[in-house]
Structure 1
């Protein structure tokens, strides 16, 4: 392995931060590194809102399910899929043409773009000695988050990211075995399910150690519960109102 891969293999989510600030220069470097991620046809269909205002962070923490670390981290990034710029370009340069900014394909392009950029930024932040954690909870009350951040039609908040100096030591959560993820030439169903069985053992041991024996539920059972419970069903209606997923 090299230094980059070693850094990536040490990733862990951090949910407690010191008060040390993230400087403007560091923040700019982190987001600029995010911008160097691959982008479909160079559309760069994303925007990032850096929230440092304490009152606004507190409100976002509440909207995200009362996650205290959103309030406590020095900077909270809200990563947004953003077709607003592109739609404006279409109106200016081709006013007589119909825009397909509302298509499912363009929704996917924007969402993938922001995910790629954010992961670049996460790695950059960790290389500077910061810890990060993604916050999907901002989609709990996604419309209120969009209003708070004054997002225009064509933009939606995909997830948040806390950044700061870690104030805790956490273990590295084991991942699925490679055999459950990596296939050669074609998808191997039996292989991936064998990998899940192996991972149930590994993840149960990790969870048992992490919780001092209080939790021992296998990963596949946790995922079964997650998949069979409705979650954030209001998001689709919100996305359609913001100009996404109409065709």
Structure 2
């Protein structure tokens, strides 16, 4: 395998960091890697907010569900979908379409994935913070996000002070289909559920034993963030 593939396959979410700072050269390389990501129709509809103010970091940690590593990590970036820049270029630009919301989310994810892979290749670690969407209005106000800019998620980056196992992903048999969508192989799922249950048991010292099927059954038993549609519309997204 190539070093790039080895870096990708060894990904773990890091939630504990040392106090060591990231160099300007490292940070610039991470940001440049994010900027190099593919962008739909060359629209380039994303912005990154680097948050260094300690008070704002602490508030963002609280908004995200009291995730302390948001405040503790060497770097914290907020990835945003951004069509405000386009309105500054063309004030009568046609924005607000649902497709543009998708483009902003997809392109933002591509940028963030590039950033984290670059960071991991430098010996750093990180974790994405979707919890910012628990309080998107407060995040937007804190970061002074204008019309047509929404926070998608955050990204903590720093030197790891933990060494967690690689979390088992769905096997290719359940993810990859050929020519058409095929029925799920229940035997493959059961085997995967066993691996996930063992992963949690080992990771938590026996305090948590849950299969993937059990986990998503709980997650999808209720609506997540029911306020999100109204927030998107309030910022001018998905109104058409």
TM-score of the superposition, structure 1-length normalised?
0.94
Structure 1 position 166 matched with structure 2 position 163: no
Asked if the contact 1:125–1:163 (Cα under 8 Å) also holds between the matched residues in 2, the reply is yes
Structure 1 position 52 matched with structure 2 position 45: no
Identify the residue that residue 229 of structure 1 maps to in structure 2: 222
Shift of 1:194: 4.3
Shift of 1:204: 0.8
Identify the residue that residue 27 of structure 2 maps to in structure 1: 27
Identify the residue that residue 65 of structure 1 maps to in structure 2: 65
Shift of 1:240: 0.1
Q: For residues 175-186 of structure 1, what are the structure 2 equivalents within 5 Å? A: 175-186=169-180
Identify the residue that residue 11 of structure 1 maps to in structure 2: 11
Identify the residue that residue 200 of structure 1 maps to in structure 2: 193
Decide which of 139, 145, 148 is 1:151's aligned counterpart: 145
Identify the residue that residue 128 of structure 1 maps to in structure 2: 122
Q: Which aligned segments of 4 or more residues in structure 1 are displaced greater than 2 angstroms?
A: 87-90, 193-198
Separation in 2, partners of 1:225, 1:100: 40
Compare 145-154 and 206-215 and name the one that shifted more: 206-215
Separation in 2, partners of 1:235, 1:228: 18
Query: CA RMSD, aligned part only?
Result: 1.2
Separation in 2, partners of 1:246, 1:170: 42
Structure 1: state its 5+ residue gaps: none
Separation in 2, partners of 1:146, 1:182: 37
Separation in 2, partners of 1:209, 1:26: 33
Encode CA deviations 1:103-125: one digit per residue, 9 max, x unaligned. Answer: 00111111111011110011001
Structure 2: state its 5+ residue gaps: none
TM-score of the superposition, structure 2-length normalised?
0.96
Compare 173-182 and 223-232 and name the one that shifted more: 223-232
Identify the residue that residue 209 of structure 2 maps to in structure 1: 216
Separation in 1, partners of 2:40, 2:188: 32
Identify the residue that residue 245 of structure 1 maps to in structure 2: 238
Separation in 1, partners of 2:7, 2:214: 30
